[in-house]
Structure 1
């Protein structure tokens, strides 16, 4: 055995040189890894006893990608292209032996090998698009030459991890190895290549598939058109497409130059900076400073859910999806039956689209049971989640009962979206077991889970909730108790300004358009129409005192009635409503205000700067641990465009001093609801940003 450096070994297995990489946790392409690979391939190529070379990795994965911590900094030599040249230019066959994942730079390294062998559980992909980037080490030029431009377009713009069996079917993998016997299989395959005199297959020289697409620009035009909605606002998918166009229309070296140019544009741009920030922010949100990693966890083997409505049913599905049995309790049999039927319908819809199998539908449904009795069903649950109507008296009554029914140590959780959890916990004899688990609707789809820490919530309950969130596929953020918590509290600031702007002369569609163009999936009024204007509205108590009152009284309750703020056709396509415009005009006249023309820039400043200011108040009150946690909440729960980082990151890019100046300007014109947060004032005084906190 020859140790090349601390992470790389070179050994001879008969006439096959085996280069073994071992750089935990994921063999990322750090400087020591690049150096080890460069020197190992150099030595193996020079060793006359070696007729072929196998590259294999120790640990749980092949090379999982670049070392993201090096992004934005000069790369220490040898650079990755130098390593790839050593591999691709080797004078003897090189076989990459893949297990775990070969992603990003890892797959780009494997594409420089002449052959690839993988175990069936391996997955391969180029997911750089998720970081606002494109593969910058030849992936955009080599992948289309292996799998064809059409397949490369799908893989690179989605970042999808392709299973090994599919990778073999499309030519990305040459042979599948038995699990646990990858090294033996790769060495045997290398010997077979030598014995059969197979050529050194350098992908850069394989042009058949790209030449077949040359002169067919409709391949790219059709792909752009089909994905226009999904790619809206993002630069990286378009840049990936341009690189694949270059692979089709340019010689390899020219295509590499195009890739490099476009990669640097993205790397140095604000979108990739925001998406890389978001990548780390999600991981940082999992860390709670005062809850140690070794905090004992409460085993969650069975879950109870109160309420079989949209929210309760969606919550139950999360646990069934993770293989955890769950019992749903309702007051009436018809409501329970309706809820269970909706869950089945949701699963069957997913199966009809190929997301799960019919067998999985039945398996998940078998984990969900229904009951009309908390007393009978909740005695042995480890966690119970209340998902009933947002009324404090109802919730306190339920928690009084749960306190008497549930076993000692069981977690008692509420799905409230903003009520005082300390008040809810006060009716129990175990406030340390009470926590908020605020799911977002639809709960089986939305990624965010606001975990709300009350005054007495134990560290064991917090640690268990954070781990459980990951287990059920959620992005968890720990927040404190305050009206609306983090997400809805900030949303309230935006909604308040949107409503006021309407009374000053901006139409709902003007406001929605400005926020849509900023990157949100829809604006506040379109969102209200989608949810239903009559949520929380009671006809008998309506006095026509608001625009919403008048719309609901006219049976304009949103998309479901074909009209709300907007008018809708039979396909629910929205168009501005003359009826709504007249209602607004009448309210403005009645108020004595003078409507004015309001441009998109003012709409954005009025809607977004108060959000940043509210976030600053949340931070100074300690209701969020970090500014980046607020951004994670807004990206995953409210559709904030990931390429703009989040409200606090965006505030840093605009500049806290500009946000402060605008808030002071608004305060002087319109009142103290715009009073700047003390933290915002301090940041500007200290010449700091939210990221510095």
Structure 2
């Protein structure tokens, strides 16, 4: 049975054919959509009662571009779907261009090369292939709130429908390179000023305006412009090449692990030298390479996984409606509490910020103000928005107003007695429907909320620092947490721009649990004789933003110390018993905030080598006694360092998946990328483990377990998942 038509053709009495893409939810460009577009455009060109064409999208959206889910399953789909699109016998009526190149017929010949003018009426968004469709038209009109962009590089691919050639010819090479290399979306006003949009019209009149504009082109009131033939916006050759050369230099710093940004720049440059049509042919050739690459598969996996996290059994099936969260109480105005408060008020949620005294309260309010001022200075918030957000913050040293709160988030230090005391007070003050949440990163939710009535409202809301910047939010449920409480927190997370991952209540939850070997194995390698700076350099070269020791300095020694006892009690001989933290604390080297840790900072955030660290390393190695047992760093390669640090993390990830701490392995991938900075181009920790090969990881861990001991012992979960190559992929 054929799918219902995804493209409608309506011809009005004014002689304008309206083509409407109707493929909910974002009018994605599936193979069916592209095939029907070709058919409808050809029909419009061949009909005598049609003078001009308007292309638009249904459901208040133009098009979000390619169908990523289909593309991830069949990487060549975006190109192969055009194989059946051919010129009609005898060509299009009055066609002026026949490239006859598979994949380019629709864009180059049928739309841009057709004899009848086509105008794109853009509302909502035109992204990726959606914008490429619009740019193939002879003019573009947009509603004021429309957003336009070519974000393909975020998926590890390049624009594949002529975008690398048309965008520079509409906005200039400089602006085009900026938009493509940063995946930046721009609003209609900026697009109009740049030349990407020809006119702006309020949405209710947009279609009629576009019809009139199209007729104006047909009547020669407006110019009939074919984008690939334009050169008026292209900079002089030497300047255009200089722009591309500078972009390459920047990409070497920001994208040194992947090829797709450099391929994109090469395709743009090719078109500048050879012309737009030749550029689109080269674009298709190079695009096929990128779409089938491992980074593209990994990035598409993460893209889809971020959208899957909201699918929670018995919660997201449509039977529950999220209750509005208008007022949130935040207990604690420290770095975490102030960050959480900032994230909420920026998104129009009223916050009651509680501290124990006026001095600490003012310090917390000052931190929130500083966070907001930083947004203003970066241009992401206006002064009016700053004042509006700050007006939503109410400070208090008691629980005044908490009786009307919809949600309270406890964000104090990791002290079980203190947290228990706070939840006891909240139980007596807050309403029955108020959700009681903790931002704890390590404490057992059942223990810190022991004695609280109506336990269905107990939940974890684990933000990552800085809370107003980091996108990940672990939503932690106990056996008693209601589906309604989870539903409410999922809705709030979306409102405040967080990506929620629902996890079970367990020590370390998901991210800290899976990554507990990260620092401990790094410390083990140091005690073997590998220098911390070499480890940091190797791990950063792998794609992490910073290495484990620089991260330790950033977080501060005290953060690790707060959770060390809990982890050691829970994980036993799976943890390497390092002396490093004790020795660093004794030397008062507690991290960046104090100016010295594993590195020296000299009053800035820039790390510098600390020669005095060698004495601490020597003492730690003596206490560890590994060298005395004949265990040394001799022969350990950079590849070994990467594997010895990350394979134990994959090992623990298998256990977390098997124990159903997370709903699905892809949730763990999202959490590892957004929470720990695991490189997105590697697809997250579980995806990466699958691509490396679980059997290989198992063999390596068995070797190290035999040589070094229990910290490398493979889990039964890894044994089980490694037994079949398809098991891990099924969990993803």
Q: Is residue 504 from structure 1 mapped to residue 528 from structure 2 by the alignment?
A: yes
Give the corresponding residue for 1:518: 542
Distance 2:300 2:191 in 1: 27
Q: What is the SS of the residue equivalent to 1:210?
A: coil
What are the superposed Cα offsets for residues 147-190 of structure 1, whole Å, 9 maximum, x if unpaired? 11100111001111110111110110111112211111111112
8 Å CA contact 1:214–1:248 kept in 2: the answer is no
Distance 1:674 1:298 in 2: 46
Q: What is the SS of the residue equivalent to 2:287?
A: helix
Q: Is residue 567 from structure 1 mapped to residue 591 from structure 2 by the alignment?
A: no
Q: Give the deviation of 1:65 after TM superposition.
A: 0.5
Q: Is the alpha carbon distance of 1:433 and 1:5 closer, same or farther for their aligned partners in structure 2, counting shifts above 3 Å?
A: closer
Q: Is residue 17 from structure 1 mapped to residue 17 from structure 2 by the alignment?
A: yes
Distance 1:267 1:115 in 2: 29
Distance 1:483 1:369 in 2: 33
1:458-537 equivalences under 5 Å are 458-535=482-559
Q: Give the deviation of 1:503 after TM superposition.
A: 0.3
Q: What is the SS of the residue equivalent to 1:124?
A: strand
Q: What is the SS of the residue equivalent to 1:146?
A: helix
Distance 2:23 2:624 in 1: 69
Give the corresponding residue for 1:553: 586
Q: Is the alpha carbon distance of 1:284 and 1:457 closer, same or farther for their aligned partners in structure 2, counting shifts above 3 Å?
A: same
1:134-149 equivalences under 5 Å are 134-149=158-173
Which residue among 345, 357, 367 is the counterpart of 2:382? 357
Q: What is the SS of the residue equivalent to 2:443?
A: coil
Q: TM-score, normalised by structure 2?
A: 0.90
8 Å CA contact 1:448–1:637 kept in 2: the answer is yes
Give the corresponding residue for 2:95: none
Distance 2:421 2:190 in 1: 54
Q: Is the alpha carbon distance of 1:369 and 1:65 closer, same or farther for their aligned partners in structure 2, counting shifts above 3 Å?
A: same
Q: Is the alpha carbon distance of 1:171 and 1:396 closer, same or farther for their aligned partners in structure 2, counting shifts above 3 Å?
A: same
Which stretch shows the higher mean deviation, 546-555 or 365-374? Answer: 546-555
Which stretch shows the higher mean deviation, 185-194 or 405-414? Answer: 185-194
Q: Give the deviation of 1:350 after TM superposition.
A: 1.3
Q: What is the SS of the residue equivalent to 1:92?
A: coil
Q: Is residue 385 from structure 1 mapped to residue 409 from structure 2 by the alignment?
A: yes
Q: What is the SS of the residue equivalent to 2:557?
A: coil
Distance 2:448 2:623 in 1: 42
Distance 1:17 1:133 in 2: 33
Q: Give the deviation of 1:571 after TM superposition.
A: 4.5
Distance 1:248 1:316 in 2: 49
Which stretch shows the higher mean deviation, 442-451 or 563-572? Answer: 563-572
Q: Is the alpha carbon distance of 1:537 and 1:8 closer, same or farther for their aligned partners in structure 2, counting shifts above 3 Å?
A: closer
Q: Is residue 98 from structure 1 mapped to residue 122 from structure 2 by the alignment?
A: yes
Distance 2:716 2:276 in 1: 57
Which residue among 685, 694, 703 is the counterpart of 1:665? 703
Q: TM-score, normalised by structure 1?
A: 0.95
Which residue among 245, 248, 252 is the counterpart of 1:224? 248
Q: What is the SS of the residue equivalent to 1:566?
A: coil
Give the corresponding residue for 1:347: 372
Which stretch shows the higher mean deviation, 232-241 or 504-513? Answer: 232-241
Which residue among 350, 354, 362 is the counterpart of 1:337? 362
8 Å CA contact 1:239–1:262 kept in 2: the answer is yes
What are the superposed Cα offsets for residues 123-157 of structure 1, whole Å, 9 maximum, x if unpaired? 11111111111101110011111111100111001
Give the corresponding residue for 2:94: none
Distance 1:185 1:216 in 2: 35
Q: Give the deviation of 1:37 after TM superposition.
A: 1.5
In the alignment of these two chains, the number of paired residues is 684
Q: Give the deviation of 1:225 after TM superposition.
A: 3.4
Which residue among 640, 645, 654 is the counterpart of 1:602? 640
Give the corresponding residue for 2:314: 290
Give the corresponding residue for 1:7: 7
8 Å CA contact 1:87–1:113 kept in 2: the answer is yes
Distance 2:241 2:542 in 1: 30
Q: Is residue 652 from structure 1 mapped to residue 686 from structure 2 by the alignment?
A: no
Give the corresponding residue for 2:570: none
Q: What is the SS of the residue equivalent to 1:436?
A: strand
Q: Is the alpha carbon distance of 1:487 and 1:86 closer, same or farther for their aligned partners in structure 2, counting shifts above 3 Å?
A: same
Q: Is the alpha carbon distance of 1:21 and 1:260 closer, same or farther for their aligned partners in structure 2, counting shifts above 3 Å?
A: closer
Give the corresponding residue for 2:104: 81
Q: Give the deviation of 1:546 after TM superposition.
A: 2.9
Give the corresponding residue for 1:579: 612
Give the corresponding residue for 1:26: 26
Distance 2:7 2:597 in 1: 63
Q: Is the alpha carbon distance of 1:423 and 1:446 closer, same or farther for their aligned partners in structure 2, counting shifts above 3 Å?
A: same
Q: Give the deviation of 1:534 after TM superposition.
A: 4.4
Q: Give the deviation of 1:273 after TM superposition.
A: 0.5
Give the corresponding residue for 2:98: none
What are the superposed Cα offsets for residues 175-207 of structure 1, whole Å, 9 maximum, x if unpaired? 111221111111111222233454421111112
What are the superposed Cα offsets for residues 328-355 of structure 1, whole Å, 9 maximum, x if unpaired? 1110101101111121122122112211
Q: Give the deviation of 1:536 after TM superposition.
A: 6.3
1:401-420 equivalences under 5 Å are 401-420=425-444
Distance 1:674 1:60 in 2: 54
Q: What is the SS of the residue equivalent to 2:473?
A: strand
What are the superposed Cα offsets for residues 64-120 of structure 1, whole Å, 9 maximum, x if unpaired? 201223311443333763321211111122111111111111111111111111111
Distance 1:679 1:180 in 2: 57
Unmatched 5+ stretches in structure 1: 539-544
Give the corresponding residue for 2:675: 637
Which residue among 331, 343, 347 is the counterpart of 1:306? 331
Give the corresponding residue for 1:252: 276
Distance 2:124 2:659 in 1: 43
What are the superposed Cα offsets for residues 608-638 of structure 1, whole Å, 9 maximum, x if unpaired? 0000010111112121111111111110011
Distance 2:246 2:404 in 1: 56
Q: Give the deviation of 1:211 after TM superposition.
A: 5.5
Give the corresponding residue for 1:541: none
Distance 1:23 1:621 in 2: 38
8 Å CA contact 2:192–2:200 kept in 1: the answer is yes
Give the corresponding residue for 1:457: 481
8 Å CA contact 1:9–1:21 kept in 2: the answer is no
Distance 2:333 2:545 in 1: 28
What are the superposed Cα offsets for residues 242-274 of structure 1, whole Å, 9 maximum, x if unpaired? 222223222223322332232122111110000
Give the corresponding residue for 1:623: 661
What are the superposed Cα offsets for residues 367-386 of structure 1, whole Å, 9 maximum, x if unpaired? 01000112x22111010000
Q: Is residue 688 from structure 1 mapped to residue 711 from structure 2 by the alignment?
A: no
Q: Is the alpha carbon distance of 1:592 and 1:346 closer, same or farther for their aligned partners in structure 2, counting shifts above 3 Å?
A: closer
Aligned-residue RMSD, C-alpha: 2.0
Q: Give the deviation of 1:587 after TM superposition.
A: 2.8
Distance 1:288 1:666 in 2: 38
Distance 1:667 1:332 in 2: 52
Distance 1:606 1:574 in 2: 25
8 Å CA contact 2:173–2:235 kept in 1: the answer is no
8 Å CA contact 1:214–1:249 kept in 2: the answer is no
